[in-house]
Structure 1
Amino acid sequence: MYDTVHFYIHDGTTDFTQLNKYLKQVKLAYNECGIFKGCIGFIGKFRIQLGYGWMSCKGSLSKAYFGNNVQRMNLQQVKEIIETLSDILHYDVRTLNVTRLDIADNFAMSSPVAKYFQYLGTLARLKRVYIVEKETLKYGTGSSHSLVLYDKTKEIKSKSPHLLKKLEIPTNLLRYEARYSHRLASRFKRPIINGATLYDEAFFHKIIQSWYDSYSDIEKLSLIQLRGIDKIKNVKDFLNYALNVALINQPPAFVDDIIEKAKEQNIFRYPSEYTRAKNELKKLRNNPLIADSSELITELNRKVRQTYDEMMG
């Protein structure tokens, strides 16, 4: 489940550049005045930056352990790879602060990945962005908490085609990632989050809960079934029915966008009225006479829940 992680330490006194002899592909860095700033090197694909009083280590734990980020890591494997990095670096990575952490899983789906995204709507406080050419759906681009869903098979074909047969990658592999950065200790209510925290079971359960809750909070859109037309008695009923259908046909971000336009024009007196209007529009879009759950979103919901149950033990 763990993927990208950023470790960092800044004590202001230790000369971490002395660790460069344990790295590969070392390059020295100088500022515009030609003064030595530090050095950059690698342990496998982990990128290590060393300076006077600071050090950062960035990479994928799963790639460091398995050579790919398709297979799941268990907590014992997380502990092992952190100990291996410590041994090679000759510095205890368990003590380094974690400043970014990505957690993810991959799901073999019955249909092309992009088809599932049309049923994933908006998410409070995180802007929805769909990148068509990359078949990638993002929530919260550039924020300290973001979600990404994309076609993992397509990425592997482009970057690591040798893994397709080696790992028997299915045709439609959907990846869901939750990315956390900045003030992780505050977010997860821990005094500190360091390398050793990552294989602490209580912390792992907390971040899995966050990963699952974030997905659950995404608005799930529906199929149009057009039931209940026989119940229409007059023009008013018909117009309300047509409004429901029109709303369901709009892009996922339509409700959020129209509420933002309303705010720009200051059409309501009180902020609570915008919230009320937004909730009413979403109710209309989920009218059970017209909207029905898609088999695709039901399938994705089930797969995400299955991962959650397995990870929570």
Structure 2
Amino acid sequence: MYDKLKLLYPRTRGTPDISGYLDKAKEQTDLKTGEVCTFGSLDGLKVSIYTGGYSIIGSLSKYLYPSNVYPLDRHSTVQAIEKLSDALHIDMREAKVTGLEFGTQFVMRKPVDEYLKKLGDMPKLARYHFDVGTLYYKHKGKQQPKVFCFYDKRADADAKGLIMPDGFAGTNLLKYEMRLNGRLSQQIGVPEVRASTLSESEFYRLLVRKWQAHYFSISKLNQLKTEVMSEIKTVSDAFDVLVARLISQSDQSQITAFLEELKDAKVFDDRKCYTRLKKKIIEVANKAGVSISDEDIRELDDEIKNVGAYV
């Protein structure tokens, strides 16, 4: 389920020069330090040659296949690294992985945004729903060690002019991706992450579990019962049903925006009040007796669960 990778191959005096294998290689000199760097590409991969090492960034999936619609599994990752090693004439299995994108896509019954608007908040990360068909969970600061992204893969491929494999034309293709950047060994909980590590079964299973766990940490909107009126016994019940109905009909971004508006206005002196309000909204939206698990969310839940069954 790998796509884009950031690889760093350490360079010593005995390391072979790879500049001759690059497309459109150009040298650039740092006027302050005098360091000469070479920048080029290799079948769509961005390759940079520095004094301390070689940096290779890009989609290994697209490098191996005509497009990146199909992510790499453990076995195809080995093939991609071998192809890269042959092209650069160095053993890229020893390269350090400094960033990776891990995920896959699913053919869904409905348009992608129908699922995204029912995904709520993820713990410790902010929710960003800028465009239709795209949803991000990431930190608010400049540093982005981890980002979780849901998006319309078919629309993304069309925008980039990528080749869609047979059978995907006209489908609702939802991709869920975990993007890790920097200090991967600490983020994942392993001694080191090299290119050879990516194809190890235990490491691959560990990434799948992390990818699944973060998805299931997201709060989701439930669906109101069809015969909800029979559940109303008091004025309070009627009020809760009305609020739950309004919440279910709104985009999760509106709830997030309202909470941010309260914070900007410094409505509450105690910041814990914002957390309590968010919890209250979720409780009302998912109140037992008036709501059931949403069928669209159940569909996506099942797709995420099934990935782990084949690892």
Identity of aligned residues (%): 25
The AA in structure 2 aligned to 1:49 is: S
| 1:292 CA displacement | 3.0
| Residues 189 and 159 (structure 1), Cα distance of their counterparts in 2 relative to 1, 3 Å cut | same
Distance in 1, Cα, partners of 2:273 & 2:23: 59
Aligned to 2:288: 288
2:3–2:100 CA contact under 8 A, matched in 1: yes
Local SS of the residue matching 2:121:
coil
Once the two structures are superposed, residues 31-59 of structure 1 have per-residue CA deviations (whole angstroms, 9 ceiling, x without a partner) of 35694521012221221100212221111
Once the two structures are superposed, residues 55-90 of structure 1 have per-residue CA deviations (whole angstroms, 9 ceiling, x without a partner) of 211111211222222224332221222122122212
2:115–2:296 CA contact under 8 A, matched in 1: yes
In the TM superposition, 1:9-48 aligns within 5 A as: 9=9, 14=13, 18-32=17-31, 35=34, 37-48=36-47
| 1:154 CA displacement | 1.7
Q: TM-score, normalised by structure 1?
A: 0.86
Aligned to 1:191: 191
Once the two structures are superposed, residues 213-245 of structure 1 have per-residue CA deviations (whole angstroms, 9 ceiling, x without a partner) of 121112221233464434545544433433333
Once the two structures are superposed, residues 180-236 of structure 1 have per-residue CA deviations (whole angstroms, 9 ceiling, x without a partner) of 111110011111111111111111110111111121112221233464434545544
Distance in 2, Cα, partners of 1:304 & 1:280: 28
| Residues 290 and 85 (structure 1), Cα distance of their counterparts in 2 relative to 1, 3 Å cut | same
Local SS of the residue matching 2:205:
helix
Root-mean-square deviation (Å)? 2.8
| Residues 301 and 170 (structure 1), Cα distance of their counterparts in 2 relative to 1, 3 Å cut | farther
Distance in 2, Cα, partners of 1:113 & 1:266: 35
Distance in 1, Cα, partners of 2:209 & 2:239: 42
Distance in 1, Cα, partners of 2:111 & 2:221: 18
Distance in 2, Cα, partners of 1:263 & 1:88: 53
The AA in structure 2 aligned to 1:201 is: S
Distance in 1, Cα, partners of 2:253 & 2:90: 47
In the TM superposition, 1:114-263 aligns within 5 A as: 114-132=113-131, 135-140=133-138, 143-160=144-161, 163-164=163-164, 166-171=165-170, 172-225=172-225, 227-260=227-260
Once the two structures are superposed, residues 152-190 of structure 1 have per-residue CA deviations (whole angstroms, 9 ceiling, x without a partner) of 1122223335x23x5332421111111111111001111
| 1:105 CA displacement | 0.9
2:35–2:51 CA contact under 8 A, matched in 1: no
Aligned length: 306
Distance in 1, Cα, partners of 2:286 & 2:305: 22
1:14–1:54 CA contact under 8 A, matched in 2: no
Distance in 2, Cα, partners of 1:236 & 1:87: 70
Structure 1 stretches lacking a partner, 5+ long = none
Distance in 1, Cα, partners of 2:17 & 2:218: 47
Structure 2 stretches lacking a partner, 5+ long = none
Distance in 2, Cα, partners of 1:206 & 1:94: 20
Q: TM-score, normalised by structure 2?
A: 0.86
1:46–1:59 CA contact under 8 A, matched in 2: yes
The AA in structure 2 aligned to 1:136 is: T
The worse-fitting range, judged by mean Cα deviation, of 232-241 and 289-298 is 232-241
Local SS of the residue matching 1:59:
strand
| Residues 158 and 200 (structure 1), Cα distance of their counterparts in 2 relative to 1, 3 Å cut | same
Aligned to 1:90: 89
